[in-house]
Structure 1
Amino acid sequence: MIVKFFKNSGGGSANATMNYLLGKENDREGARLLSGDPELTKRLSDSLNFQNRYTVGVLSFEEVNLPDDDKRAIMESFESSLLAGLDKDQYNMTWIEHTDKERLELNFVIANVELTTGKRLQPYFDRVDRPLVENWKQVTNHEYGLTDPHDPDKAQAVKTLNRQNLPKEVQQLKAQI
């Protein structure tokens, strides 16, 4: 399993996000509502005047499917880790399952507001929360016997060049090619 937060996705209307996740008429093939209320999440997110009104992400599994009890336990564990110290009535989160890509995806949408105070809620701040989410991911992968993206058997024998690993000097580039 990997955990992915979608960059700066909370700036527009939550309606477009929900239309993608569930389909415009809630008819997307392979999509199933697991938890939460999509309409409430949309309306709540769209009513906020914060710059980023909602947070969207996914738990993506190489496995085609998992038992429903495992999915529920993983979702609850993720929520309690990411939103530590908050009760369920203090935040709004919707979970939508996708199985149309020959793997399991558990998509989530969080309205960025603490419900009892109306103040902005930042559920994920990358620089601070990335190690927490990475540790949660590794423990969860181990506990449930899920495919680990850090497994040495998954490493690519030849890494392709891209902006992140492109050498500064042309000589280094030629030698690498």
Structure 2
Amino acid sequence: MHSKFLKHGSGSPRKAVEYLLGELDHKGDKRPHIEILRGDPETFVAIAESLDFKYRYTSGVIAWSLEDDPTPEEIQETLDAYEKHAFAGLDPTRYHFHAVLHEAQDGSKHVHILIPRVDLETGKSLNIAPPGHEKYFDKVRDYLNEKHGWSKPDDIAVLNASVALPHHTHAQRAAAVELMFKGKTKADKREILNQIIQQRIAAGVIKDRSGVQATLAEYGIITRTRKNTISVKFYGDSVATQ
């Protein structure tokens, strides 16, 4: 299982909700299952749209690989843990926590989280994911992964989870890749990309060189292409990897 909070929150709250509850995902594929697990979409929109802050809401995602196959009870346990961790010490009447479950075509599951960035009691800004929040929330993620034997964040299946909001797609991918590749050597990153490409070739997704380039472009910026090599600067890196 992998989780992350996005750097965005200044976009349209209603568009974010409409996407989460829409029948089609960002690829245009029909979602087999959509379920509201926490909160109310109209309440979220009403609160977030009433704020005059630059950032009116926080959005995040919790994604499981297909092999994780969490039960409804385990998903609720996960949300309980994240909610308790995010709002430690706050009465539930002081925040709104909206969570929507999506099941992908392959059966994998992920939950989108939307939270108005306001303390409902004081009216002051409430940011549950300030700079450096990763270390705080990673502890919850790691505990649950160990407890249930779920996939670790470095696993390819989780890295490829299709969980993007349409107006967050690029930024979310960049944030995910930067987090996943943090601390890894160039050789490690190259090996991860090689595995992803091999998987997609085997699955018939990649059929030619253009397919390879399109895949690499998901994980960084292609800086140079030659007959036998392609150089890509991964998100979070200052130099390209060949």
TM-score of the pair, normalised by structure 1 = 0.82
| Partners of 1:54 and 1:111 within 8 A in 2 | yes
Select the residue among 128, 148, 164 that pairs with 1:123. Answer: 128
Letter in 1 for 2:55: N
Q: Write the mapping of 1:74-113 to structure 2, written as runs, cut at 5 A.
A: 74-102=78-106, 103-113=108-118
- 1:134 and 1:84 mapped to 2: Cα distance? 16
1:54 is aligned to 2:57: yes
Does the residue aligned with 1:92 lie in a helix, a strand or coil?
A: coil
- 2:79 and 2:146 mapped to 1: Cα distance? 16
Q: Give the CA deviation at 1:150.
A: 3.8
- 2:143 and 2:43 mapped to 1: Cα distance? 32
Does the residue aligned with 1:106 lie in a helix, a strand or coil?
A: strand
- 2:146 and 2:119 mapped to 1: Cα distance? 32
- 1:89 and 1:15 mapped to 2: Cα distance? 22
| Partners of 1:21 and 1:28 within 8 A in 2 | no
Select the residue among 183, 191, 202 that pairs with 1:158. Answer: 191
> What root-mean-square deviation, in Å, do the aligned CA atoms of Structure 1 and Structure 2 show?
2.5
| Partners of 2:86 and 2:128 within 8 A in 1 | yes
Q: Give the CA deviation at 1:60.
A: 0.8
Does the residue aligned with 1:42 lie in a helix, a strand or coil?
A: helix
Q: Give the CA deviation at 1:42.
A: 0.6
| Partners of 2:103 and 2:109 within 8 A in 1 | yes
| Partners of 1:33 and 1:96 within 8 A in 2 | yes
Letter in 2 for 1:133: F
Structure 1 pair 79/165, CA: closer, same or farther in 2 (3 Å)?
same
TM-score of the pair, normalised by structure 2 = 0.61
Q: Which residue of 2 aligns with 1:140?
A: 144
Q: Which residue of 1 aligns with 2:220?
A: none
Share of identical aligned residues, percent? Answer: 26
Greater relative CO, 1 or 2 (CA 8 Å, sep 6+): 1
Structure 2, unmatched stretches of 5+, are 24-29, 159-187, 194-231
Q: Which residue of 1 aligns with 2:6?
A: 6
Q: Give the CA deviation at 1:146.
A: 0.8
- 2:189 and 2:105 mapped to 1: Cα distance? 22
- 1:84 and 1:101 mapped to 2: Cα distance? 35
Structure 1, unmatched stretches of 5+, are 168-172
Q: How many residues align?
A: 164
- 1:138 and 1:108 mapped to 2: Cα distance? 19
Does the residue aligned with 1:158 lie in a helix, a strand or coil?
A: helix
Q: Which is further off, 110-119 or 63-72?
A: 63-72
Q: Which residue of 2 aligns with 1:23?
A: 22
Letter in 1 for 2:7: K
- 1:106 and 1:159 mapped to 2: Cα distance? 25
| Partners of 2:31 and 2:103 within 8 A in 1 | no
Q: Which is further off, 97-106 or 53-62?
A: 97-106
